[in-house]
């Protein structure tokens, strides 16, 4: 815009000249601290880069194999760790190191890389909020692929986990979690998703293929913040649960063969999913015991009785025992409506809109799925003779994250 008739005073001209000199001086001075640290170009290791980084900086990993064993301490908040190529940037635990990356800081994102053969977990957020894992591939780990414990307000998307002996994905012990898992793949793991005492997790538009069990939100008092509540499980494809040999190192082993299991949780929505070929049950709602006790003693206290769950508009077929199942001993208000399925337990499950008294449900389902945990685990391990996580197949290359 041009302003007609404006004339600057001498004082204004002097001020403008000084401002120009200051701009020139600033251009000649050293650049401000960098917002990006490249490994190995700027520093040789990922752990060195974390140590040097200020909150909010980005660490970029060049193509190569890295040993893992990295810890992000609580003070290093809002870091981004990003590989330049999802398939060419690899954390390799060599079946000796426990974890790929352990995060204790809020706001840490891990993007566009792969990790495999850690004896425990590939990526582990421990008490860290605002987490993100995107465009990550994980295979063959002794416990969890992507593990978030006591973390809120996060997302996991466009990831692929295979061959995890506890669960491909875990988000648990959080209230409210406000976490989203979307557009992910879980294959050939003991459990696809496990969420103990997780309130408010969304699981959408994802593939759960040939896991021991597919999606298992669950309540147990041995972990913090029971009961599990308010999960949204929508538009997922769950196939062949319990039909393939998988590594098993989980207290949830007794639920192998179930596609989607609401294990002691309340007010969950299971809607618009396609569940096919489960070894035992396609979608099942059932109580869980108060304690997980492997000491040989009793599991005291009444069970967690699921209530207020809605199973709606799902397509379920090819299950070994029943496509839709409700165990005896559940709480009130578990609704099974407008599903497409062939086999039910109990047989009259489709007739009422919502199950009423706590006694409604199938006694055989309850007998099978609500035994003491140690009994179910021992029976599963004896019958299945699971393979080692080390022997599971390497997944194919996956699409990298677009940048810029």
In a domain, 302, yes or no: yes
Residue of 158, 163, 67, 143 lying closest to 109 (CA atoms):
158
Residues 132 and 212 in one domain: no
Based on the fold, state whether residues 189 and 83 are members of the same structural domain.
no
327-336 confidence digits (pLDDT tens): 999 999 999 9
Check: CB of residue 125 under 8 Å from CB of residue 100. no
- The 10s digit of each residue's pLDDT in 260-278 is 999 999 999 999 999 999 9
154 found inside a domain: no
* 269 and 121 within one domain: no
Residues 127 and 213 in one domain: no
Q: In this structure, what are the phi and psi dihedrals at residue 281, rounded to the nearest 5 degrees?
A: -125, 140
Range of the domain at 93: 34-141
User: Where does a domain end: 114, 141, 168?
Assistant: 141
The answer as to whether 371 is a domain residue is yes
- The sign of the torsion formed by the CA atoms of 387, 391, 396, 398 equals positive
- Residue 299: inside a domain, yes or no? yes
**Domain check: are 255 and 363 in the same one?**
yes
Contact 139, 161 (CB under 8 A): yes
Please answer whether residues 133 and 121 qualify as being in contact, where contact means their C-beta atoms are separated by less than 8 angstroms: no
pLDDT at 25 > cutoff 50: no
Query: pLDDT tens, 358-391?
Result: 557 999 999 999 988 888 999 999 999 999 999 9
pLDDT, position 14? 35
Tally of domains in the chain? 2
Cβ–Cβ < 8 Å for 332, 352: no
From 125, 141, 157, the end of a domain falls on: 141
Structural domain contains residue 275: yes
Question: What is the spatial distance between Cα 83 and Cα 252, in angstroms, rounded to a whole number?
Answer: 33
Residue 56: inside a domain: yes
What is the pLDDT confidence band of residue 8, given thresholds at 50, 70 and 90?
A: very low
Whether residues 181 and 136 share a domain: the answer is no
**Residue 26 in domain:** no
119 and 193 housed in the same domain? no
**Same-domain pairing of 135 and 185:** no
Point out the least confidently predicted range of 102-106, 168-172, 241-245, 297-301.
297-301
Name the residue among 92, 156, 95, 146 with its Cα closest to residue 124: 146
> Contact, 146 vs 172, CB < 8 A?
no
> Do residues 234 and 93 share a domain?
no
Same domain, 340 and 208: yes
Residues 269 and 346 in one domain: yes
69 lies in some domain = yes
Q: Examine the domain organization and report whether 203 and 119 are in the same domain.
A: no
């Amino acid at each position: 815009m041009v302003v007609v008739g404006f004339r600057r005073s001498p004082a204004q001209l002097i001020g403008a000249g000084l401002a120009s000199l200051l701009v020139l001086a600033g251009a000649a001075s050293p650049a401000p601290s960098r917002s990006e640290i490249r490994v190995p170009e700027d520093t040789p290791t990922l752990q060195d880069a974390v140590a040097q980084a200020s909150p909010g900086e980005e660490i970029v990993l060049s193509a190569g194999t890295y040993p893992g064993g990295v810890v992000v301490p609580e003070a290093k908040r809002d870091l981004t760790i990003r590989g330049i190529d999802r398939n060419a940037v690899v954390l390799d635990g060599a079946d000796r190191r426990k974890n790929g990356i352990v995060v204790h800081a809020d706001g840490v994102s891990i993007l566009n890389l792969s990790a495999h053969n850690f004896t425990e977990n590939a990526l582990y957020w421990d008490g860290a909020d605002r987490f993100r894992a995107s465009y990550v591939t994980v295979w063959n780990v002794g416990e969890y692929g992507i593990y978030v414990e006591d973390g809120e307000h996060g997302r996991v998307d466009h990831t692929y986990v295979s061959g995890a002996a506890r669960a491909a994905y875990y988000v648990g012990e959080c209230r409210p979690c406000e976490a989203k898992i979307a557009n992910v793949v879980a294959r050939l793991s003991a459990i696809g998703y496990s969420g103990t005492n997780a309130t408010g997790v969304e699981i959408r538009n994802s593939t759960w293929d040939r896991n021991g069990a597919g999606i298992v939100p669950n309540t147990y008092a041995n972990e913090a913040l029971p009961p599990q509540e308010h999960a949204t499980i929508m538009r997922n494809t769950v196939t062949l649960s319990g039909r393939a040999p998988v590594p098993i190192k989980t207290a949830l082993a007794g639920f192998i063969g179930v596609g989607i299991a609401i294990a002691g949780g309340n007010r969950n929505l299971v809607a618009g999913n396609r569940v096919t070929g489960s070894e035992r049950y396609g979608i099942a709602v059932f109580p869980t015991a108060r304690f997980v006790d492997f000491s040989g003693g009793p599991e005291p206290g009444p069970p967690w009785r699921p209530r207020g769950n809605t199973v709606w508009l799902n397509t379920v077929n090819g299950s070994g025992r029943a496509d839709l199942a409700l165990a005896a001993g559940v709480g009130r208000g578990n609704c099974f409506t407008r599903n497409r399925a062939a086999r039910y337990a109990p047989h009259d499950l489709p007739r009422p809109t919502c199950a009423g008294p706590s006694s409604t449900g199938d006694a055989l389902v309850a007998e099978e799925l609500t035994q003491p945990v140690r009994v179910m685990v021992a029976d599963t391990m004896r019958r299945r003779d699971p393979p080692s996580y080390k022997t599971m197949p390497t997944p194919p290359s996956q699409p990298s994250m677009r940048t810029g």
